[in-house]
Amino acid sequence: KNPGMCGQSTMFTEVLLALVVGGVIYFLVQKSKRHQLKSEDGWWGEGTPPDREEDVSIRPYTVRTDKEELEDLYRRIDQTRSFPSLEDSQFTYGFNSQYLQNVVSYWRHDFDWRRQVEKLNKYPHYKTNIEGIDVHYVHVRPKNLPEGVTAVPLLMVHGWPGSFYEFYRMIPLLTEPSNPDDIVFEVVCPSIPGYCFSEAPHKKGFDSVCAARVFHKLMKRLGFQQFYAHGGDWGWIVTTNMAQLEPKIIKGLHLNFAPPSKPGLPMVLSIMLGRHFPKMFGFNEHDIQRIYPVVQNLVVESVKESGYMHIQATKPDTVGRGLNDSPVGLAAYILEKFSTWTDHDFRNLDDGGLTRKFSLDDLLTNVMIYWTSGCIISSMRFYKENFSKGLDQPHSKMPVHVPTGFACFPNELMHTPKLWVQQKYRKLKTFTPMARGGHFAAMEEPELMAQDIQNFTKMQEKRKK
């Protein structure tokens, strides 16, 4: 054989092999990029970015109140103008006026804001500046960590019209579990910029992807290289975006709200055929009751309960000015959601069922966080920023490949069967039909939620249940 020909053949084979290997690597890299969301740094402070390095300091923060703040609140409450509800209307027209008078009377004469401020300060609060705005968060480290045990970091993100306070009854269950076999968590609960004690963005465009990027920076600043994330309501999409931005950093994603963002063929077929062939689509009796009849549940109920969303997604500043001036108006606007979103049947009760699941002290504490921080307008703008970009955003079409756990509460606003959750969250590890609970599940059923987070995290950490 000709030695030259053999050498050329070997070289050709090596080049071909290199091209094939290179092509495979390129394909895998590009495939991975398709599943990773892209986002550029922003500047949300006033004016232009300063010509200096970013201030990365972390500053302790204390929730405070004073005599002047309370006197102003009481003056506004005393000057409110009532208006009678229609006879036999309960909560079907909104917050019942007669029961609102009872809530306002309790707020004015019995509710102790100073005591609630002490309760808020039970856990350490901090602020740090990210992309030009101060970001507020609660950071709770376990007090008595057993020797040899490492705490698992967990980020928990709230929604609207909730706050970081929704998680207060869950925090001790996670950071100081009574079961020695349970995981001990280190918990971080930030306020979405524009909510509570986080500074509001001064420029247009701050959406869920921007919040996700800011929270990634927050967790890195706190020294976490990997962590778990939990979210409901807006917290669902913020933590989902976090998983899409940096999937290797999110060890696991736990959700209790996941409305389908883009109906695919499996979802359409399941709606068309699921009632007659439920086993084919993994539907149970609760799925059937919540999904059918389709027109009533998906159209009529949406119209009944989504008016606030249309306002906030279009002209939030207009109605926001009224709510920012009137504490009674603000309370009615927020607490009506805590009634109807906890259980739709509460609309038929004279008191909206508010104190069946929550105490007035807890409900009014959440309202006071909005009132004292003056954040209602900026919190409502978050709808405008997310919906004004359209429903067909890159992240809405992008599947999530981070291990996911889903807690399916029976009275959630929008029911999402397991099949629908799997269309978006491709590594769905746990799907738990919960015994009870609605939209504000972390606040309503903290024990159930904490246990589901425990079970999901144990599975990921490969620990025994």
For the chain, give the number of residues.
465
Strand order in the sheet with 58-61: 58-61, 125-130, 133-140, 185-190, 152-157, 227-231, 250-255, 404-408, 428-433
Sign of CA dihedral 231, 233, 234, 237: positive
The encoded tokens of residue 410 equal 């029976």
Pairwise CA distance, residues 224 & 239, whole Å: 16
Residue 64's CB is within 10 A of a number of other CB atoms, namely 11
Known catalytic residues are 233, 383, 439
Task: Using alpha carbons, select from 354, 349, 322, 348 the residue that is nearest to residue 335.
Answer: 354
Residue with tokens 């349970």: 182
Sign of CA dihedral 313, 199, 152, 145: negative
Residue 433 phi, psi (nearest 5): -70, 115
Q: Which amino acid is at 18?
A: A
DSSP H or E segment with residue 429:
strand 428-433
Q: Give the torsion through C-alpha atoms of 191, 362, 120, 406, to 10 deg.
A: -40
Task: Give the single-character DSSP code of 435.
Answer: S
Task: Using alpha carbons, select from 132, 142, 148 the residue that is nearest to residue 188.
Answer: 142
Task: Note the Cα 340 to chain centre separation in Å.
Answer: 18
**Rounded (5°) CA angle 244-247-250:** 110
**Rounded (5°) CA angle 102-104-345:** 55
Task: Give the single-character DSSP code of 275.
Answer: T
Pairwise CA distance, residues 79 & 81, whole Å: 6
Residue with tokens 């002209």: 315
- Using only the alpha carbons of the chain, give its radius of gyration: 25
Q: Which amino acid is at 349?
A: L
- Residues whose CB is less than 8 angstroms from the CB of residue 247 and which lie 6 or more positions away in sequence, other chains included: 35, 36, 400, 401, 402
Per-residue 3-state assignment (H helix, E strand, C coil) for 311-349:
HHCCCHHHHHHHHHHCHHHHHHHHHHHHHHCCCHHHHHC
Residue 17's CB is within 10 A of a number of other CB atoms, namely 10
